[in-house]
Amino acid sequence: MCQPGETPTTDQLADLVRDGAAAPPLGVIAGARRFWRLVFMAQTLAVADVKQMVEGGAETSAGKQMPAAERVARIARQKARLSGISMSGENECAHSSYDLILDMLEKNVVVQLPPSKFPSRRSELSNEKVVKEVTLDSSSRLQLRDQKTEVMCDTGSELLLTQALQRRALALDLTNAATYATVQEYNDYLIRQLQATVPGGYKRVDVQQVLRADQEAFNRMSESLTEGLRRKPDGSLPMDEAFRRLLTDAKVAFSLLPLAAFACEACGDR
């Protein structure tokens, strides 16, 4: 319409509200002048967005981050919606887990979300460290920024893995990437493999095998969700559909097959 910082002319406003080839009435043009402030705000936001992408910044280097007020409001709504689920103690998600998923949604492509990247808030508070980082901005000036170290969680046992998977489900639900019930159905599918009985001569599925299957599941999800992760016009979430398909995916199921005991012992000897 016009360059940023310029006030739109009457002719430009007429082009904005023109209906087909006919020139709009003067009354419509006069009403369109109310859009001047809207046009100015749109230009300002567009310039700020381009500047952020070109120059970078703390948020660009650290990824997308959820504002504190929005996070508090979303957690309150989630607790009211999932009233029967405990969200305290080991089930309280680390704030970094929300930022991790928001960054994925911003890029609109599936990335690996291993359970180990979803620690509890308690663990995040006790292990979080801030490291100073010196960077160069677009003007070649030195800037001193805070760079938080990544906090991971242990998933070496069935209990720890179950807790991490549930925190991931809660984080995906809070960020509107997927619904808790759908993700938890997939989690239950993985955990059931740890408890399943196996024929003689075979080794029970262990935690490491489930983690490898989960990694394969996200690879399969990445292959299928080529049109993005954002909510569709009908209100459905692409990741919900992908999680449901994983329950019958052949490659994921193959990753969860019990291994022959002698093969496992041979691998251990090596």
Kindly list the domain boundaries of the chain, sorted by start residue: 10-55, 59-269
- Residues 177, 189: Cα–Cα separation, whole Å: 20
pLDDT at 167 over 60: yes
Residue 138 Rama label (left phi>0; alpha psi -120 to 50; beta): alpha
Residues in the chain, how many? Answer: 270
Range 211-232 average pLDDT: 95
Q: Which of 192-196, 197-201, 211-215 comes out lowest in average pLDDT?
A: 197-201
- Residues 260, 15: Cα–Cα separation, whole Å: 73
Range 24-45 average pLDDT: 64
- Residues 16, 223: Cα–Cα separation, whole Å: 41
- Is the dihedral angle over the CA atoms 116, 105, 193, 257 positive or is it negative? negative
- Residues 62, 223: Cα–Cα separation, whole Å: 26
Q: What average pLDDT does the chain have?
A: 83
- Residues 229, 221: Cα–Cα separation, whole Å: 10
pLDDT reported for residue 126: 85
pLDDT reported for residue 41: 72
Query: CA separation (Å) from 201 to 5, 144, 193, 259, 263?
Result: 75, 59, 17, 9, 10
pLDDT tens sequence across 226-247: 999 999 999 999 999 999 999 9
Residues sharing a CB contact under 8 Å with residue 196, sequence separation 6 or more, in sequence order:
204, 205, 258
pLDDT tens sequence across 89-131: 999 999 999 999 999 999 999 999 999 999 999 998 888 665 6
pLDDT reported for residue 61: 43
Residue 204 Rama label (left phi>0; alpha psi -120 to 50; beta): beta
Half-sphere exposure (Cβ direction) of 68: Cα atoms closer than 13 Å = 0
Strands 202-203 and 142-148: unpaired
pLDDT reported for residue 150: 80
Residue with tokens 């160069």: 136
Is-contact 69 30, C-beta < 8 A?
no
